[in-house]
Structure 1
């Protein structure tokens, strides 16, 4: 075992695991109830982050910046800053499929999120930015697809290597999204954005969902990062009994 891996195990033995419970429950691959409890346990113990293990805080999760050019609103790009997302510690497994032959995983997670962000609305073709705040509430279903490999260390202990993921998102029910009043008034008065507003009004619900999902997809990069980080020091059998 590498020295850094030994250090991490000692850290968790002395601190994170001092209450008698590990980060995970070892489950059978098709036991969704066990996997759900394991997810709950992992989130409870890691949601504030464990820097020494490269596990990042997810509740609240802060995304410094995210740019989104809405395809249905011509000439407008949205620049989100200091995105604060709460609720990820309460996410639940909706479905989990592991193919041991293809070494692939489909993980679906359901979660109700609150999003608050600063927002710059930039108009293409002219040097103009309108600034304000953005808020949203939504129940989302995030789906992560990724492959994995199994590798043995020098002691013969198997570990997962989680390969790059693809994340998709859908909205469950009716989401809420709003801008602060000053920004709304500025957008309505600006002659350069009138065409974009007309297009937005025709596809309001679709635009709202696409914008929220763009943020959710970015957030789940951190969620999967934490799974990848845990897999580097927790043996594969800590995840699954029948791997």
Structure 2
């Protein structure tokens, strides 16, 4: 069993990192509490990024386009900056004994998004349209991440890990704040009505719009994770 390798996997998939740069206390795979505690202790350092390995920062994140193509609502976010990932913590972590899957809960106290938007359709029951500047400040979020892992042999004959895919279940736990400028092309009464509805019915609104936002966030982090994992053979993490 590879206790340090397992730990690097968890750190990488939840944030980002390189064991060659950041020393991590060893944990046995069955000691979930040890692993979880160590992840949270070093998360701040890891999330800053490792430029020499091509691992970019995860706070802030920048996206040229985020698109929500929903049945009743179409929206696009442009030039969006997202901050707050560095304050997220990991809990309820589980690694399969055969190293094929990783599950954890990402607990985020607040994420802030701002940029440009374009929106049309219905927000649950209200018509909505507009374009301009926007800002969203989420409340608390619990994001359940279920990942599939893969081990493959590199050109050097050594084995390397990668994160093959993932699924999310996003659970908003407290009210967000929405601020969309120029809704209905500046008609204040209509804009105020939509904002009031969104704030009063935030669980339903969040459930409608959240997945097209959170999937790119996690996918961006995992791309950097896989860059890191390509540099660290599994044999580097053997138990003494």
Length-normalised TM-score, structure 2: 0.69
Q: What is the aligned partner in structure 2 of residue 57 from structure 1?
A: 57
The 5-angstrom pairing of residues 78-227 of structure 1 reads 78-101=75-98, 103-123=100-120, 129-151=130-152, 158-171=159-172, 173-180=173-180, 182-183=182-183, 186=186, 203-227=201-225
Query: 5+ unaligned residues in a row in structure 1: which ranges?
Result: 1-11
Q: SS state of the match for residue 57, structure 1?
A: coil
Whether the 8 Å contact between 2:101 and 2:146 is mirrored in structure 1 is yes
Q: SS state of the match for residue 68, structure 1?
A: strand
The runs of 4+ residues in structure 1 deviating greater than 6 Å are: 196-202, 237-240
Whether the 8 Å contact between 2:178 and 2:198 is mirrored in structure 1 is no
Moved more, 179-188 or 218-227: 179-188
| Residues matched between the structures, number | 215
Whether the 8 Å contact between 1:136 and 1:175 is mirrored in structure 2 is no
Q: What is the aligned partner in structure 2 of residue 7 from structure 1?
A: none
Q: What is the aligned partner in structure 1 of residue 27 from structure 2?
A: 27
Query: 5+ unaligned residues in a row in structure 2: which ranges?
Result: 1-17, 122-128
Whether the 8 Å contact between 2:130 and 2:182 is mirrored in structure 1 is no
CA-based RMSD: 3.7
Whether the 8 Å contact between 2:178 and 2:199 is mirrored in structure 1 is no
2: CA distance between counterparts of 1:45 and 1:202?
38
Q: C-alpha deviations, 1:24-52, integer Å up to 9, x for none? A: 44322232332234323553333232233
In our comparison, the structure showing a higher alpha carbon Rg is 1
Length-normalised TM-score, structure 1: 0.69
Deviation at 1:238, TM superposition (A): 6.2
